[in-house]
Amino acid sequence: MRKRNVSRFILLSVAIILFAGVILFSLLKVKHSFQGTDKSEFELIELTTTDSVRRGQDGDLISPRVSIDTGIIGKGEPVKTKPEPCPT
């Protein structure tokens, strides 16, 4: 019975270390394209909290300071478009 508990502990430890390694790898190595440059997860977290950067419906990163239509940096005001009417 004791041998079985030791093997479970070793298996659980290996799984935790592997999971932590995958998380750290993704935080440090994975880059996202934002406004023509590659940003790490830490930089995106900072932009999210300071510049109100958010993800759009298609998964792209959207900054309210950049016009979606033209890509020109404005005065920090988001582009206001007329909502399309419901087709019902």
User: Is residue 55 in some structural domain?
Assistant: yes
pLDDT digit string, tens, across residues 32-53? 777 778 878 777 777 777 767 7
Residue 23 lies in a domain: yes
- Say if 31 falls within a structural domain: yes
The answer to the question of residue 78 being in a domain is no
Judge whether 71 lies within some domain. Answer: no
Q: Is residue 45 part of a domain?
A: yes
Token pair 């880059």 is found at 31
The token pair that represents 47 in the structure block: 């932009």
Q: Containing domain of residue 39, as a range?
A: 2-62
Could you report the per-residue pLDDT of 68-85, keeping only the tens digit for each? 555 555 555 555 566 677
Distance CA 56, CA 54 (A): 7
Given this model, what pLDDT does residue 39 score? 79
The count of domains in the chain is: 1
Residue 81 lies in a domain: no
User: What's the pTM value of the predicted model, to 2 decimals?
Assistant: 0.45
